[in-house]
Structure 1
């Protein structure tokens, strides 16, 4: 009988222990979660995009006339002042003449020489005509005074003398033209060598104070008019160009604050000066066509080290489109979609997760501005795991 009671007690204790063990095994355990606290502070929503530096004004110095350029001694990075000679031009050498062209030129010289002789003979003939008309006028005046010639006849003689003088002037002009044509024909046969001592150099001056950006034609050459020689710019007048998506560019209005980062120094403050009115198509690295707009940013003040920046250097531009000094802030990782486009968070109350819908007024890469639904100091679950639900027991994971 004693053995039966002991057996019953043993089996009962074992059953109770097994039941307690099963109960402990199947009781829901708290979910380990990471948390963050709702705070208040300044909220900034910005558009971040890669940009590049650009000189506001670039000057291309060109050859004003066709000429022979001497070697340019300036190199990229050299400083110049307004009015300094940056290049020197000399008269271009004449083209070479082959044997056939030389014979043709010699024939033209001979013809021009004959034209000069003919013009001389015409001028002498005109002089004789003038002398004849003058003698006739003297005789007619004498006869008119004695009454043997009418006044009308005297007027005709005077007109003949005036006409003779005009013919003489025309013959003199024809002779001058023939002489110039002879010189023009003879110039083709002049030697090709150009006397450098007699050539008058023409200096090309720098338009502004600045730095040589690019030397397009460093070596000596014969160039046509309008050929670019070098580019000059002022590094002190620098701007930043960012190519924004058109959907972002409409938010980046004139005067918005901008921060220039990742240029090799501390952040630089600036302002949006212009949003260009025309967009362009750009293919992204993924092969997607995008419509982008150039946004120009002026710097408020150049920090130490900015003088080492040059034209076309890469930077990161962050344009602030929304700035709230006192806002309720929650980490972006605590938000998740809820109820047809709304947003919600899990806050912790008495060791349990509580679903809380919120109204988000804005968000950036790290924080969200909560207009309603949360108060500063509340603890939120960051990146809630799928096992978390409303009323679920949670345990804060220690870092």
Structure 2
């Protein structure tokens, strides 16, 4: 009888080495601390000269407002202005309390970092523990910076609200032609992110006109499935790719936000997702072309081992409620049941059933069965 022809197959060798599992999703950049400038009084606003990207300095004039005629500033206007002062002062107290909490958290994190550094120098602390302590200290420093930004903004809000009350009181005793323009100063040093109101004319109190921020202080927001988010821990390493530059950027997970939201996928399926906030750790000069709301692709590491038995995921298939592969024994395919650990979509960890050096068949066709002769393509 004629010998059966061997089935041509693609093969791969079982190897030992590092394996990493990541969650891959799109993200967008955003300025960490941003501020929307609103008008403190109803009045006539001249055309704004500022454009998106223009630099502003703290205290510099952003806009000039001609307040309404004194006879139009009734008791209701004064009551509303006084209510805005009270609200601004309450926000100011909250902002100062947030700074106090952030300072205490930073002091504790720095003490922990110092202790872990001393232990590491004596060989009594693992590198991963020291890295986590350093990350916590850096994260608490970022939180303190944001809290202090909040205080500056709150102080500005109080000053503007008080200025509005004072202007209403002064206006009642002056004729129309004696009214002075109200200058709206910048609360921060940074750049104009967006111009929200460009038209000249009468505008109501509280109308937002400009959004300000510092584009050099960016973070990345990545929305992930909630089922994936439970695997992500603060401090996890992140790679940022396909952002437009030649280099892969590095980052760390700052936090996983506590509240999820519903999002409709491209296939029309409702998904529960949650935002993961990532700090960019690459030097600023590597990503200075990035701006607010730019798209990036994030690879968030959730697991890594340096020495595992691994095979291509395409060699695996389901068999008897478990996993199996076809290993090549000489010129014959042999069915082997295996135990699978972690998988990343390209490779899988084999915890039992295979050893390094064995050749396995990838993408096995229906022609491949246990005991059939095969030949590598």
Question: Cα gap change, 1:214/1:368 in structure 2, threshold over 3 Å: closer, same or farther?
Answer: same
- Of residues 364, 375, 380, the one that matches 2:355 is 375
Q: Distance in 2 between matches of 1:229 and 1:249?
A: 36
Q: Deviation per CA, 1:92-136, whole angstroms, max 9, x where unpaired? A: 34689xxxxxxxxxxxxxxxxxxxxxxxxxxxxxxxxxxxxxxxx
**CA deviation after TM superposition for structure 1 residue 395, in Å:** 0.8
Q: Which residue of 1 aligns with 2:336?
A: 356
Mapped contact 2:41–2:67 kept (Cα < 8 A): no
Q: Which residue of 2 aligns with 1:294?
A: 275
Q: Distance in 1 between matches of 2:343 and 2:326?
A: 18
Report the TM-score when normalising by structure 1.
0.66
Q: Which residue of 2 aligns with 1:85?
A: 61
Alignment partner of 1:59 is 2:35: yes
Structure 2 runs not aligned, ≥5 long = 73-171
CA RMSD of aligned residues (A): 2.0
Alignment partner of 1:250 is 2:230: yes
Q: Distance in 1 between matches of 2:347 and 2:297?
A: 20
Question: Cα gap change, 1:303/1:317 in structure 2, threshold over 3 Å: closer, same or farther?
Answer: same
**CA deviation after TM superposition for structure 1 residue 200, in Å:** 2.0
Report the TM-score when normalising by structure 2.
0.69
**CA deviation after TM superposition for structure 1 residue 381, in Å:** 0.7
Q: Deviation per CA, 1:144-182, whole angstroms, max 9, x where unpaired? A: xxxxxxxxxxxxxxxxxxxxxxxxxxxxxxxxxxxxxxx
Mapped contact 1:268–1:303 kept (Cα < 8 A): no
Q: Secondary structure at the match of 1:307?
A: coil
Q: How many residues align?
A: 277
**CA deviation after TM superposition for structure 1 residue 303, in Å:** 5.2
Q: Distance in 1 between matches of 2:299 and 2:253?
A: 11
Question: Cα gap change, 1:302/1:320 in structure 2, threshold over 3 Å: closer, same or farther?
Answer: same
Alignment partner of 1:308 is 2:284: no
Larger Rg: 1
Q: Which residue of 2 aligns with 1:221?
A: 201
- Of residues 265, 274, 279, the one that matches 2:260 is 279
Q: Distance in 2 between matches of 1:305 and 1:394?
A: 50
Mapped contact 1:60–1:232 kept (Cα < 8 A): yes
Q: Which residue of 1 aligns with 2:304?
A: 323
Q: Secondary structure at the match of 2:282?
A: coil
**CA deviation after TM superposition for structure 1 residue 348, in Å:** 1.0
- Of residues 369, 390, 398, the one that matches 2:370 is 390
- Of residues 182, 186, 190, the one that matches 1:206 is 186
